[in-house]
Chains A and B, each alone.
Chain A
Amino acid sequence: MKPKSNLKYTGKEGSSWQGEITNLLSSETITTYSGGFNKKLSVRIASLITGSLFLFYILSSMFSGNGSGDSLELRKEKLPEKHGFYYHEIEASSPLIFPNVDHTKVLKDIGVRGLYILRMGPNDNNHYYIKVDDKPVPEEVIKKTTDQAFLAKRSFLDHGKLVYHKGNSPDVIIVTLIDFDKYDEATLVKIVQNRVDYGQKHNYGVYIRWIQEFVPVLEKQDLKSQYDNIKPIMMRAAMHAFPNAKQYMYLDDEALFMDMNLSLQKHILDPSVIEMSLLKGVPVTAGSNINTYQNFHASNAKVIVPQGPDGKLDLSAFIVSNTFSGKVFLEYLCEPLVRNYSFESFEHAVAHILQWHAYLLSKTAVVVPKLFASIYDPENKALNDVYHYTEGDLLISFKGCEARGTCAQEISLFADKAKK
């Protein structure tokens, strides 16, 4: 392999090598007459050959170029800590996180346009941006200011930075989105109060945010068409804000807890209750060829989604557990290609991913709506079926009230009826 390099050396010291050999030969002539020395000579020759082979081996391995200074190792850099949409987060003092509802009117006046930075793009392609390194305003500044608009804006922007990372975290978090454009202050107070009351009674956490806080996260920043697509983003944010909780329950703003004494653990999360209310072997959504698993076991229920009376999934209330599968479920729904696909509704998107991804379906319990999404039916109050709300149910959902135009009335009517 290295004839050249070897030649170089033999050229330099060749004479000495030869000298050595002749030396050997002469020593042979001296010693031949003493009989047994023939053997000695062969041993000596053999050892010489061995020696030179050994030398050759060392030389050849020495030159089989072992490049240096060509390391593929990285220079170590510190990886960023886990964070949400903002780098700077605020540790909340209590697990009841809800926005300042007093600001409803002021925020409505400011509007989304005034709350965020709007970057103008070509062809009317304007985009709201979140300032990821936005620093929360210190309390001293807030105490000094009297400008209501500034206060409302700052408290709106800082609300998303609240997290509850303490060890004594509640097991269950109630998650709700509220909208300052949809309801007036009085209704919002009722919605928030209902959840806080329930949470306090059972030592659960509450995580309520303005739906407008998520506008900059979207690609299509039109709140009307994206209303339901914000649910998984909100749930993922709740998971980040309460990393030590076990379950997160999403609840639409147009739903209320009606019996404050029923705990979620006993009423819904108990495996035997789930087992009872599981829908096994039914089409995932109306008209689907994919059925839910016949052999589904309640212990696999990492996501719990009710199916409405029409056979379609009902995402007005659902539960996601703080597990790997729960994360995958939510983050997959937040995927822009899923979010921006022309699904009829968010329910269709969820039905789609459950039908196409056996992994997610095997972790999702599809349950009867009565479990936690009993719908209020103003016309058939007497009808006592398995779908609609009857007194004694944990929850009431006013799904469809927007079409009736009676949401605010219904909410205020039932908020006071709740069993304390």
Chain B
Amino acid sequence: MGAEGFDLPVSQEDLRDDEKKTSKNRFDSNNVSFKRMSLYLSKHKKLITILVIVLFLTSWFSDSSSSYAHTRGSVNYDNNSHSASKSYESLPPNMTKYQFNWWNPISWFWNPDPKIVIILAANQGGGVLRWKTEQDWSIEHLSIGNKKAYARRHGYGLTIKDLTTLKRYSHEFRESWQKVDILKQTLREYPNAEWFWWLDLETLIMEPSFSLDDHIFSRLDTIADRSLKNFNPLNIEVDIPYIDYKQDLNLLITQDCGGFNLGSFFIRNSEWSKALLDIWFEPIAYEQKHMEWEHKEQDALENLYASQPWIRSGIAFLPLRTINAFPPGACSDFSDDPRYFYKQSAKDFVVNMAGCNYGRDCWGEMSYYLKKMERSNAKWYTRNFFKI
């Protein structure tokens, strides 16, 4: 296609002469209509110019990748630490997807019943465990803006969960178990939602145009792996009795170099999930294993997966890069394994700055990927004529 495109400006001298002649003839014959058209154009010159400018600007500014511009207002944190966390807002989704109902005033403004709800865990520790720096605020701002724009674009719900009470959990010797409580709470909050997508704060959606239906749920047959046969970093026994691979999937997670990763996962609103969330924290298991279980709820899930067939029957593994790609800093011991790391050319969906709190620069990584995302998703004229 390109080659033909380049031939358009004719270069041969003789051909050019011919064309000059023919074009002149054509001009003569179509003189009248041309005159009329140019007259018309010159009459409405201003109108046309304004129209073009307006069209250009609207399409430019509606460029979804500049999610930054979309974050209206700021997120208000609930000061009441007793109610562990609260949903702050349900976002007005895409106009085409929400059910408009005259009798329900709420539905005039936003989707009262989103089928997919994104749960974003924000404000970890709430500045209680350590001082919240300027960069922490900024990361939060970037991350929330990114998910907001995405949820709005596709008509998903977004609930931002406040992890301020981490301190209280650490007092109860069960840090990071808050995830389970938040999930339980959100399942109750959105009884009609079908899937919940948990996202850690240090994640960025790199391809906001992908819908979850197209990217994940319609492709489950080809991307979701129900057994550990192909990829088993923890060397969990692959086959145990009574696994039923014909059951519906209820939990879609990813595995990184160190095992299960719960930085980004999907959980279905089902009885299975309710049972799992209830059983996830088992005091006697934790009592026996709390010295070994470094990642608490992640290790507990690995343990449940290893021994209980009903858990296995509901879980499938997605390739890390479909919803949870890593920057080079994470899993750095495996830097030659392409399964883990974000690849822009392959349009990896989400990047997760996993573990950036441990000696890496979260803010630096976030802003690097945000820039990358804005650049690759900018409209062509923005990309070519303006430096971003």
Query: By the criterion CB–CB under 8 Å, are B321 and A331 in contact?
Result: no
Q: For the complex, what is the distance from the CA of A84 to the CA of B2, rounded to whole Å?
A: 61
Query: By the criterion CB–CB under 8 Å, are A70 and B16 in contact?
Result: no
B226 at the interface (CB under 8 A from A): yes
Q: For the complex, what is the distance from the CA of A73 to the CA of B303, rounded to whole Å?
A: 27
Q: List 18 A-B contacts (CB under 8 A).
A: A16-B11, A23-B20, A27-B20, A55-B8, A56-B380, A66-B345, A72-B223, A72-B321, A73-B219, A74-B230, A80-B245, A236-B242, A334-B307, A335-B308, A337-B282, A337-B289, A341-B288, A356-B282
Question: What are the residues of chain A within 8 A of B309 when measuring CB–CB?
Answer: 331
Query: By the criterion CB–CB under 8 Å, are B278 and A324 in contact?
Result: no
Q: Which of A77, A324, A358 contacts B310 (CB 8 A)?
A: A324
Query: By the criterion CB–CB under 8 Å, are B243 and A82 in contact?
Result: yes
Question: What are the residues of chain B within 8 A of A31 when measuring CB–CB?
Answer: 27
Query: By the criterion CB–CB under 8 Å, are A325 and B223 in contact?
Result: no
Query: By the criterion CB–CB under 8 Å, are A65 and B303 in contact?
Result: no
Query: By the criterion CB–CB under 8 Å, are B307 and A40 in contact?
Result: no
Query: By the criterion CB–CB under 8 Å, are A13 and B6 in contact?
Result: yes
Q: For the complex, what is the distance from the CA of A30 to the CA of B272, rounded to whole Å?
A: 81
A408 at the interface (CB under 8 A from B): no
Q: For the complex, what is the distance from the CA of A62 to the CA of B5, rounded to whole Å?
A: 12
Query: By the criterion CB–CB under 8 Å, are A359 and B278 in contact?
Result: yes
Given A337-B285, A337-B303, A357-B279, residue A59 in contact with residue B5 (CB < 8 A): yes
Query: By the criterion CB–CB under 8 Å, are B289 and A83 in contact?
Result: no
Query: How does the 8 Å CB contact mask read for B2-31 relative to A, with 1 for contact and 0 for none?
Result: 100110111100001000100110010000
In chain A between 352 and 383, which residues have their CB closer than 8 angstroms to a CB of chain B?
Answer: 352, 356-360
In chain A between 71 and 102, which residues have their CB closer than 8 angstroms to a CB of chain B?
Answer: 72-74, 76-77, 79-80, 82-85
Question: What are the residues of chain A within 8 A of B230 when measuring CB–CB?
Answer: 74, 77
CB distance from A63 to the nearest CB of B (A): 9
Q: For the complex, what is the distance from the CA of A327 to the CA of B314, rounded to whole Å?
A: 13
Question: What are the residues of chain B within 8 A of A16 when measuring CB–CB?
Answer: 9-11
B376 at the interface (CB under 8 A from A): yes
Q: Which of B222, B272, B384 contacts A74 (CB 8 A)?
A: B222
A120 at the interface (CB under 8 A from B): no
Question: What are the residues of chain A within 8 A of B55 when measuring CB–CB?
Answer: none
B50 at the interface (CB under 8 A from A): no
Q: For the complex, what is the distance from the CA of A265 to the CA of B245, rounded to whole Å?
A: 32
Q: Chain B contact residues: over half helix, strand or loop, or mixed? A: helix
Q: Which of A20, A40, A72, A337 contacts B284 (CB 8 A)?
A: A337
Question: What are the residues of chain A within 8 A of B226 when measuring CB–CB?
Answer: 79
CB distance from B357 to the nearest CB of A (A): 27
Query: By the criterion CB–CB under 8 Å, are B39 and A39 in contact?
Result: yes
Of all A-B residue pairs in the complex, the 10 with the closest CB atoms, nearest first, are A39-B38, A67-B345, A16-B11, A359-B278, A70-B346, A337-B285, A72-B319, A79-B245, A73-B222, A65-B345
B127 at the interface (CB under 8 A from A): no
B interface, how many residues as a size bin? Answer: 35 or more
Given A58-B1, A67-B346, A327-B310, residue A23 in contact with residue B245 (CB < 8 A): no
Given A27-B20, A60-B384, residue A40 in contact with residue B223 (CB < 8 A): no
Query: By the criterion CB–CB under 8 Å, are A332 and B308 in contact?
Result: yes
B227 at the interface (CB under 8 A from A): yes
Given A60-B383, A74-B230, residue A360 in contact with residue B278 (CB < 8 A): yes
CB distance from B146 to the nearest CB of A (A): 21
Query: By the criterion CB–CB under 8 Å, are A335 and B307 in contact?
Result: yes
B322 at the interface (CB under 8 A from A): yes
Q: For the complex, what is the distance from the CA of A334 to the CA of B307, rounded to whole Å?
A: 8
Q: For the complex, what is the distance from the CA of A61 to the CA of B37, rounded to whole Å?
A: 33
Residue of A nearest to B309 (CB): A331
B361 at the interface (CB under 8 A from A): no
Query: By the criterion CB–CB under 8 Å, are A59 and B11 in contact?
Result: no
CB distance from A3 to the nearest CB of B (A): 9
Question: What are the residues of chain B within 8 A of A77 when measuring CB–CB?
Answer: 227, 229-230
Q: Which of A20, A53, A236, A356 contacts B9 (CB 8 A)?
A: A20
B274 at the interface (CB under 8 A from A): yes
Q: For the complex, what is the distance from the CA of A46 to the CA of B238, rounded to whole Å?
A: 66
Question: What are the residues of chain B within 8 A of A384 when measuring CB–CB?
Answer: none
Q: For the complex, what is the distance from the CA of A82 to the CA of B274, rounded to whole Å?
A: 24
Question: What are the residues of chain B within 8 A of A33 when measuring CB–CB?
Answer: none
CB distance from A292 to the nearest CB of B (A): 16
Query: By the criterion CB–CB under 8 Å, are B245 and A338 in contact?
Result: no
Q: For the complex, what is the distance from the CA of A74 to the CA of B227, rounded to whole Å?
A: 12
Q: For the complex, what is the distance from the CA of A15 to the CA of B10, rounded to whole Å?
A: 11
B41 at the interface (CB under 8 A from A): yes
Q: For the complex, what is the distance from the CA of A341 to the CA of B285, rounded to whole Å?
A: 8
Query: By the criterion CB–CB under 8 Å, are A36 and B38 in contact?
Result: yes
Query: How does the 8 Å CB contact mask read for A1-23 relative to B, with 1 for contact and 0 for none?
Result: 10000000100010111011001
Given A331-B309, A336-B307, A356-B283, residue A13 in contact with residue B384 (CB < 8 A): no
Query: By the criterion CB–CB under 8 Å, are B10 and A40 in contact?
Result: no
Q: Which of A43, A61, A356 contacts B380 (CB 8 A)?
A: A61
Query: By the criterion CB–CB under 8 Å, are B284 and A84 in contact?
Result: no
Query: By the criterion CB–CB under 8 Å, are A40 and B343 in contact?
Result: no
Query: By the criterion CB–CB under 8 Å, are B345 and A337 in contact?
Result: no
Query: By the criterion CB–CB under 8 Å, are A324 and B10 in contact?
Result: no
Question: What are the residues of chain A within 8 A of B42 when measuring CB–CB?
Answer: 39
Q: For the complex, what is the distance from the CA of A393 to the CA of B386, rounded to whole Å?
A: 88
Query: How does the 8 Å CB contact mask read for B296-311 relative to A, with 1 for contact and 0 for none?
Result: 0000000110011110
